[in-house]
Amino acid sequence: MTDALIGKYINGYEILDVVGRGGMATVYRAQQLSMNRVVALKLLPEQFAKDDTYIQRFEQEVEIVSRLEHRNIVPVYDYGQYSGRPYIVMRYMNSGSVDELLRSGPLELDQIVHIYEQIAPALDYAHTRKVLHRDLKPGNVLLDDDGGAYLTDFGIARVLGDQVGPGITTQGVVGTPSYMSPEQAQGQQLDNRSDIYALGVMLFELATGKRPFESDTPYSIAVMQVTTQPPSPRSINPDLSMAVEEVILKSLRKKREERYPHAIGLAEALKRAANLPSGSMHDTQPGGIKIPNRPAPQPLGNPQADSPYAPQYEPQPMVIMQPTSPVGSYPPPAPMSYGPPMTPAPMPTQPPPYTGKRRRRKEGNMFMSAAVGGLLGCAVLIVLVILLILGYIAIQGGFNPGTTVESNGDGTSVSSAPTLDATSQSARDTLIPATPSPLPLGGSPVVNPVGVRATLSLELISRTQTRAMVYFAARGGRSDVYRFDFASGEERQLTFDPNEDNYPQVSPDGTRIVFQSNRDGDFDIYVMDINGDNLRQLTQNTINDRLPAWSWDGQRIVYASDTRGDRKHDIYEMNGDGSDQRLLYTNGLFNSHPRYSPNGQYIVFTTGSDETSSNTFEISRLDLDSGEFLQLTTNTWDDRSPSFSADGNTVLYRTSDGGSARGNAAIALMDIDGSNSRILYDGAGLEWGMSFSPDGGLISFTTSSPTTETDEVFFMLPDGTRFEQVTNFGAMASSWVP
């Protein structure tokens, strides 16, 4: 480039050539004669030369910026004036900017991670010094020959703010509209999360080669920052994983409290999503002082206080009126039902989803057991006598509505379950007695103190090699995960978040628990150790991920995801650490509650037309080797929540026609190809959440307790006989601990 200043001297700096030119400054490569080094000299516009107030403000601002001493912040060496025009002297970065890298298209993911793990600590460091950047963009991230990335131009947007006014352009440094946070575009008070948003816009651009919001005018772009949701990064770059997309979209939330609170948190999430080793990214100041405990985001003070960078965004070049509808709100999570799990996903043209409709509980059921504990002694004795009689009946012969007992001819008997007839409603009704007897209990159903349960029948427990079970319970207005040990009869609470933690599944080796939680605003998948320690979030997005389950070897997790936000779910799979999230099945309909077969060949799941049409719910099977889809049930009933037997030859599921005399659910069984369907058990309540123990010795399920009317966990034998209530204070959807 030709320029009149080339070859001239500015206060001890020889101007060598022009590095770049923008609307708000010209950058020159210069030789500092006193130090014999090459530097970058940024000369600001002439329009500021005659404004004494501005010159004073400029010197104050640059002095503050020059105190930022971080290995990944371009140092400011000097500042002054030339013919009344302010200039700043900085370290010269000879490899250009990240903006120049983008000219060849999107960057490789590992290269993006490498850049972010350098600039994120630098940004957080500046924030702890009450300095906002206000103009983060690829052009303000400079590079050196060794792959180092450096932030530059801290606070210059604020320095120029009062003078520029509405004459802002996309090339100016007064908060570039394409990277402005919604609150910056509206002239609101800013904190560090405004820079996090700009970091997210830049991440979107580096990963896709495009900015999330593009338009003909800066004003219209700023309006889009406030009112328009960003497009899916994967719709632009299909090579991106769902996990990386989740990180990008979280950083671009319209509401600042929904973004990452700090830059390092964003960088660490990106590193995990990229399936790279996620070491701790602590920052260090020049003196070696660590900053691992970053403060919660707060507005950075008063403009007239210690730092002019802290305050409100004074320039207000674009005041965007607040939209009448909420900005940045994604579809709310579907109502949580503690009955049959609400699941995700679609496929070619198969039937619908299941809504998780369950028997409506009476208010206060959750606390019924506590009330029982306070009854008068005589009343308790009466109840115990009645329950012991029921237990005796169960031990003597058991009771199973819908199951007949036939003689083998050798003095023994064998249970024969009725076959499901999908062609006749009347035939279906005959399988469900209109006046069922109460569910008998094999153990003593006495009410014990919280945390202690009645000892289970040794004979029944001897049928399985498992040592404990994990379940979730809704108590005190919240839902948490619990573990119940068979030997001691003791229960231990594992999660304590005030939001919903539910549908836990124990890994095959018994060391980890995966579950769903809405603790970040929507349901995501989490994993923790079997004792509740070492909690990790595996999915992180703005949609609902539900009902996870482990593969037979504990290496992978399958789950349902509301990918499009339309409450029609797809089936996804990921590694046990949350990496390599990938789509397994979609058909544009509702697919949910996926479960692996023991040999890893199949996944069975609930499928339907949509989440609200439970009469269309059917059980389907996906062959993971061939990709073949097979619908196993074909009727007008509500079939859902399948799982495999221990040998993988049969599928256990819940069925309900909704039109029988009882109108509730039953536990059914069928062969792996959908044949030989039969009702295994149909009690007085709504049965759901059933699964075989890993060794096949028992089946656990959830149904209403005949004494407290709360949902509790029960055991029965695989032939549908011998029932025993396990919990007394509310428990649902149990999973076995090997």
Q: Find where tokens 């009725």 sit.
A: 418
As given in the structure block, the two tokens for residue 213 are 């919001």
User: Which of 383-395 are b and which e, b meaning 16 or more Cβ less than 10 Å from the residue's Cβ?
Assistant: beeebeebbeebb
- Which is it for strands 76-82 and 478-485: parallel, antiparallel or unpaired? unpaired
Asked if 398 and 415 touch (Cβ cutoff 8 Å), the reply is no
SS3 522: coil
**Interior CA angle at 378 toward 377 and 383, to 5°?**
100
Which is catalytic among the residues 51, 110, 124, 135? Answer: 135
> What Rg do the C-alpha atoms of the chain give, in angstroms?
32
Distance between CA atoms of residues 667 and 665, nearest Å: 7
Sequence-distant (≥ 6) Cβ neighbours of residue 338 within 8 angstroms = 358, 472, 474, 479, 502, 711, 732
Known catalytic residue at 135:
yes
As given in the structure block, the two tokens for residue 113 are 């991670």
Residue 168's φ and ψ, nearest 5 degrees, are -75, 145
As given in the structure block, the two tokens for residue 602 are 């199949």
Q: Residue 640 pairs with which residues in a beta bridge?
A: 654
Exposed (0-12), middle (13-18) or buried (19+): which is 637, by Cβ within 10 Å? buried
Distance between CA atoms of residues 454 and 726, nearest Å: 8
As given in the structure block, the two tokens for residue 44 are 């600001």
Sequence-distant (≥ 6) Cβ neighbours of residue 361 within 8 angstroms = 709, 710, 711
User: Which of 32-57 are b and which e, b meaning 16 or more Cβ less than 10 Å from the residue's Cβ?
Assistant: beeeeeebbbbbbbeebeeeeebbeb
- The number of angstroms, rounded, from the C-alpha of 435 to the middle of its chain's C-alpha atoms is 45
Sequence-distant (≥ 6) Cβ neighbours of residue 442 within 8 angstroms = 391, 394, 395, 457, 460, 715, 722, 723, 724, 725
CA atoms within a 13 Å half-sphere pointing along the CA-CB vector of 650: 19
Distance between CA atoms of residues 723 and 443, nearest Å: 9
Residue 222 neighbours by CB distance under 10 Å = 26
Helix (H) or strand (E) run with residue 117 in it: helix 109-128
Sequence-distant (≥ 6) Cβ neighbours of residue 374 within 8 angstroms = none
Instruction: Write the DSSP string, 192-261.
Output: HHHHHHHHHHHHHHHHHSS-S---SSHHHHHHHHHH-PPPPHHHH-TTS-HHHHHHHHHHT-SSGGGS-S
CA atoms within a 13 Å half-sphere pointing along the CA-CB vector of 292: 6
Sequence-distant (≥ 6) Cβ neighbours of residue 53 within 8 angstroms = none
Residues catalogued as catalytic: 135
